[in-house]
């Protein structure tokens, strides 16, 4: 079949491979369906944004029409536990499966993968129309891995260490043995997660044995779930790693649509103990998925929020009209507009309504900042993992409830200034650099339990990436933690020094 809107489509493809980063970003936003400003559309050389379902589908199908040599194009739907919910609380699989059926029926060159846990599928498949179920060509159940696969997996993970060892270990899975695997997995099969968790336990036991002077025969210690404070230290390390990834990949707030930003905000507010969160708030409007409301924990006022980063001022006017109606109908006590950009075009009708509504008495415009979105995105990634049953620390599986406990105890979200602007937390004093450094050192030691001092210094430098922090300051922090009996140090020279965690001292 012919290409839908060929001038627009090929113009967008040209801008995607253009060397101009601004045009590349705008092309991505257009394909995502963002409502771009007239100025942005002019830069792209097109007149309209994608505004209808037909346009969206046909634009997607265009890729299959031109993919004559690279097909199939793979579309993977993952982490469905975090998708929209039906009124009864079940996952909205019917809508998702309806979209997949449309792709199945009306185009070609697409391979669609839907990744869902067996339990979720059994609980929710009866909500899906039979006609959509019939579109499924095949089911693939992930089976347990057997002993040869377990050994291959562990060998792949240990290969880097073996390559550095002198002399070379006699077995590709050393210090793990075939007898250990047989004792741990007597049926000769397990899950990938359990195999890796066992491998981690063996390595930790082996390091402890080496640290203790190789006394007696090496044996794997019985696996005991760590105490909360130990796990919390591991979580802080994981948080810092994920936050660094977010900071590296999330460079602009506009990377996310307004519904995505609202969903991230909703999850974080729930973690902070905010109750009676309702989405959508601006019901029966185009901006329903851009909005939410909640009950303020101290004042008990109903707070309404609209989050829109749309650049098109015509749609901004309609958004302001929706806000005006909500305020006039007293749907909430306080209304916040979340938006990164200032509204500069004062001659527009949208600006006139905006200036009347969000003047700080009591409704106001909160300008969002990139670091806040990076925090929200990081927490949202953890939440999705926990919902799917993939949130692990030190080989142990933890729930959404556990995640919220870790975040609350570590006061992670207190560092996100958006919640200070929303008046749901009090602004806290920044952690002193020295305390932050000691905390990072301690968390690294707890995570690894035993490690060389040189390795510890390199890990801390890599995590902090602070020009003011050098090896000397890290060594000072190590000495202070040792004096406080939180860690222990053995060895005389810097090349032979080892650092170990002292359990129960925190």
Residue closest to 394 by CA, chosen among 236, 188, 163, 162: 236
Between residues 360 and 428, which one has the greater pLDDT? 360
120-156 core/surface letters (b: 16 or more CB in 10 A; e: else): beeebeeebeeebeebeeeeeeeeebebeebbebbbe
pLDDT confidence of residue 91 = 85
Residue 65 scores a pLDDT above 70: yes
Distance CA 58, CA 8 (A): 12
Residue 87 scores a pLDDT above 80: no
Reported confidence tier of residue 434, pLDDT bands at 50, 70, 90:
low
| Mean pLDDT along residues 223-237 | 89
pLDDT tens-digit readout, 265-292: 999 999 999 989 998 899 888 899 999 9
Burial environment of residue 105 by CB neighbours within 10 A (0 to 12, 13 to 18, 19 or more): exposed
pLDDT confidence of residue 495 = 59
pLDDT confidence of residue 325 = 94
pLDDT confidence of residue 159 = 92
Distance CA 429, CA 415 (A): 9
pLDDT tens-digit readout, 127-163: 899 999 998 999 988 889 999 999 999 999 999 989 9
Mean pLDDT of the chain: 88
| Mean pLDDT along residues 373-399 | 92
Q: Provide, rounded to the nearest whole percent, the portion of the chain with pLDDT above 70.
A: 96
| Mean pLDDT along residues 437-441 | 87
pLDDT confidence of residue 435 = 78
Q: How many CA atoms lie within 13 A of 257 on its CB side?
A: 13
pLDDT confidence of residue 453 = 86
pLDDT confidence of residue 336 = 96
Q: Three-state SS for 76? A: strand
Q: How many residues are listed for the chain in this entry?
A: 506
74, 81 contact by CB (below 8 A): no
Q: Provide, rounded to the nearest whole percent, the portion of the chain with pLDDT above 90.
A: 39
Instruction: Report which DSSP code applies to 91.
Output: B
- Range with the poorest average pLDDT among 192-196, 323-327, 375-379: 192-196
Distance CA 92, CA 132 (A): 13
Write the DSSP assignment of 139-158 as a string of letters. Answer: --PPPPEEHHHHHHHHHHHH
445, 487 contact by CB (below 8 A): yes
Q: Among 121-125, 397-401, 464-468, name the most confident range.
A: 397-401
pLDDT confidence of residue 427 = 65
Residue 305 scores a pLDDT above 90: yes
Distance CA 251, CA 504 (A): 41
481, 442 contact by CB (below 8 A): yes
pLDDT confidence of residue 373 = 96
| Mean pLDDT along residues 84-98 | 84
Residue 232 burial (CB count, 10 A): 18
pLDDT confidence of residue 304 = 96
Reported confidence tier of residue 83, pLDDT bands at 50, 70, 90:
confident
Residue closest to 335 by CA, chosen among 356, 316, 317: 356
Contacts of 339 (CB under 8 A, 6+ apart): 307, 308, 309, 365, 366, 367, 368
């Amino acid at each position: 079949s012919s290409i839908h809107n060929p001038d627009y489509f090929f113009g967008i493809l040209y801008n995607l491979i253009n060397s101009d980063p601004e045009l590349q970003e705008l092309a991505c936003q257009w394909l995502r369906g963002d409502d771009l400003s007239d100025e942005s559309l002019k830069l792209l050389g097109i007149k309209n944004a994608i505004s209808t379902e037909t346009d969206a589908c046909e634009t997607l199908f265009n890729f299959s029409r031109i993919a004559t040599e690279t097909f199939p194009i793979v579309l993977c739907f993952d982490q469905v536990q975090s998708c929209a919910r039906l009124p009864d609380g079940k996952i909205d699989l019917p809508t998702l499966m309806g979209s997949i059926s449309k792709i199945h029926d009306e185009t070609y060159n697409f391979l669609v993968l839907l990744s869902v846990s067996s339990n979720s599928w059994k609980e929710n498949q009866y909500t899906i129309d039979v006609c959509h179920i019939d579109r499924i060509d095949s089911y693939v159940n992930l089976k347990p891995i057997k002993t040869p696969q377990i050994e291959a997996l562990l060998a792949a993970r240990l290969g880097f260490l073996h390559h550095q060892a002198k002399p070379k270990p006699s077995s590709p899975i050393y210090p793990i043995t075939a007898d250990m695997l047989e004792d741990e997995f007597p049926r000769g099969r397990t899950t990938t997660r359990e195999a890796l968790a066992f491998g981690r336990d063996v390595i930790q036991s082996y390091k402890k044995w080496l640290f203790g002077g190789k006394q007696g025969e090496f044996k794997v210690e019985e696996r005991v779930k760590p105490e909360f404070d130990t796990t919390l230290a591991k979580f802080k390390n994981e948080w810092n790693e994920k936050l660094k990834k977010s900071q590296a990949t999330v460079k602009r707030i506009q990377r996310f649509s307004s519904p995505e930003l609202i969903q991230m905000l909703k999850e974080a507010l729930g973690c902070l103990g905010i109750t009676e969160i309702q989405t959508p708030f601006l019901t029966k409007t185009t901006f329903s998925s851009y909005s939410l409301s909640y009950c303020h924990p101290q004042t008990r006022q109903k707070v309404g929020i609209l989050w829109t980063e749309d650049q098109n001022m015509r749609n901004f006017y309609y958004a302001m009209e929706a806000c005006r109606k909500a305020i006039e109908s007293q749907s909430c006590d306080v209304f916040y507009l979340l938006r990164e950009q200032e509204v500069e075009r004062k001659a527009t009708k949208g600006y006139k309504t905006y200036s009347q509504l969000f003047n700080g008495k009591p409704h106001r415009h909160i300008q969002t900042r990139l670091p806040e979105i990076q925090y929200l995105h990081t927490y949202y990634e953890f939440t999705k993992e926990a919902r799917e049953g993939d949130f692990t620390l030190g080989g142990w599986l933890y729930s959404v409830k556990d995640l919220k406990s870790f975040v609350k105890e570590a006061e992670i979200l207190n560092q996100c200034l958006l919640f200070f602007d929303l008046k749901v937390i009090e602004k806290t004093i920044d952690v002193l650099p020295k305390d932050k450094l000691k905390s990072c050192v301690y968390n690294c030691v707890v995570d690894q339990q035993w490690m060389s001092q040189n390795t510890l210094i390199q890990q801390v430098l890599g995590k902090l990436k602070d020009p003011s922090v050098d090896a000397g300051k890290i060594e000072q922090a190590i000495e202070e933690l040792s004096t406080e009996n939180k860690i222990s140090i053995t060895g005389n020279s810097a090349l032979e020094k080892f650092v170990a965690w002292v359990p129960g001292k925190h």
